[in-house]
Chains A and B, each alone.
Chain A
Amino acid sequence: MAIVNRTPDSFYDRGATFGWDRAVAAVERAVADGADIVDIGGVKAGPGVLVDVPEEIRRVVPFVAEIRARFPDLVISVDTWRHEVGRLVCEEGADLLNDTWAGADPKLAEVAAEFGAGYVRTHTGGATPRTRPHRAAFGDVVAEVIEEVTRGAEALVRAGVPAEGILIDPTHDFGKNTWHSLELTRRFGELTRTGWPVLASLSNKDFVGESLAAAVSDRVLGSLAVTAVCAWEGAAVVRAHNIAETRELLDMVAVVQGRKVPAGVVRGLA
């Protein structure tokens, strides 16, 4: 799942794909580099300048329509928590709603049910959209995340969202400190053993930065390392900025696990 931000201020790309042409080019490159899904967002996750519903619609909806027309078979995900945006992107052919703020707007699930769209059920510990964690504390962070996201996923099914389109996401760093995100990584297998497909959203996040004392621009290798851990533990989808590297890593893990055959083996066999 390739991240494409139509934002001027997201933490990693800092507006690099805010402009229309550059955003289209980013999707083209992501597909060429091996992405199966693009995740289009119009609002920076962290606190910052207000982006209201009309502005988010302006940034995201025509872009989804453009990408749908150019890539009929590409899975299009939209990173939004607002039902008004969700409805319009589904009308334009979006396949998946990535609700990064964990049901902050309960009507978003109704939109997914109405259109038969997929849905990412995340965990934020109840955080308000676009806020940072402050002294978040958990008795057992993994158990609490599993309880909330599986309960949420079951509620989505009851609301009519197609079960085969639902992913759960522990949502590293959202409402959590670095220790919590490391624990979720270490015990990622407990999430995959719930039976729900799990999205791992790790790319260039602060828990990687704090682990390695790495600035935002220096977190690619750390991100790939935690991606390998989560892929090994059964992540169904990986959300990433650095697509070519991530694709190669996932292919290698799949080969080691026997889910994919090596590209060509001759050494010692002649």
Chain B
Amino acid sequence: MIVRAVTCPHPPLLLPGITGGTIPEVEDLRAACLAAVADLVAVSPDVVVAVGSAPDTRVWAAEATSPRHFYAPGLSPRPAGEALPLSLAIARELTSAVPVPVELHGVCASLPADDCHAYGVELAGRPERVGLLIMADGSARRGPKAPGYEDHRALEMDRMLDEALRAGDPEPFHKLAPDVADELLIGGRVAWQVLSGACDTGAARSTCHYSDDPFGVWYPVFTWTPA
């Protein structure tokens, strides 16, 4: 059963040391994510299952190397071995102090909506008390200074998803069209659709920890407690 779910964004900015000097906006976001993860642990899950987009759908080894080198060469020697997908690397950072086992589940970034939903239903069917950590962020096309520049649909789409997160309503995530999500550079489509399957028992009780776009990408941090 899902005892609580948290959604956090996964920009490379949250990898340790990657901003060089301290960026206050990044530290605010990190603090909100860590507060949400603390919320997740507060309901005593047996296991935390982190879900994020990945090159393919499988569970990653917790000791896989960090992808930090791909984004910040020169910070440290290049590690050997397979690197975690970005989303799961951020999840691992955010859960480094969590006192229960953490599983890192990658979901192929192109997996169809119903398959993502089914993955979530399966997670919810597990016998343990599962704390779900969904790694997802919104559009990167929210304005002229956004990484993906401006798409007139982006703000409206993010607003709709923000309202769904606030209402604890999984349905809009299930309906999110993959092609539109890709066009809007939404990094969270598959993980949110896993959430929609894991929490499809009705409206969840929602807490907002953060919802802002300091760098042109929408970063939502929410806690859902299923009804």
Contact = CB atoms under 8 A, between A and B. Distances in A.
Interface of A: 47-48, 131-142, 177, 179-180, 182-183, 186, 210-211, 213
Interface in B179-203: 185, 187
B74 A134 contact: no
B78 interface: yes
Interface string B133-146: 00000001000100
B70 A137 contact: yes
A186 B55 CA distance: 31
B172 interface: no
If over half of B's interface residues share one DSSP class (helix, strand or loop), that class is named, otherwise mixed; here it is loop
Contacts of B150: 47
B148 A132 contact: yes
A258 B75 CA distance: 33
Nearest to A182: B74
B147 interface: yes
Contacts of A137: 12, 67, 70-71, 86
A177 B72 CA distance: 8
Contact of B147 (A134, A179, A180): A134
Contacts of B71: 135-137, 177, 179-180
B75 A132 contact: no
Given A179-B18, A179-B75, A134 B148 contact: yes
B149 A132 contact: yes
A133 B149 CA distance: 10
Interface in B3-31: 11-12, 18, 20-21
B73 interface: yes
B18 to A, nearest CB: 7
Chain B, interface size: which category? 20 to 34
A86 B58 CA distance: 49
Contact of A183 (B21, B73, B140, B187): B73
A138 B70 contact: yes
A180 B70 CA distance: 9
Given A180-B71, A213-B21, 5 more contacts: A47-B149, A48-B144, A135-B12, A135-B187, A136-B71
A140 B73 contact: yes
A180 B11 contact: no
Contacts of B70: 137-139
Nearest to B72: A179
Contacts of B20: 210-211
B73 A179 contact: yes
A134 B75 CA distance: 20
Interface string B64-90: 000101111111001000000010000
A134 B71 CA distance: 11
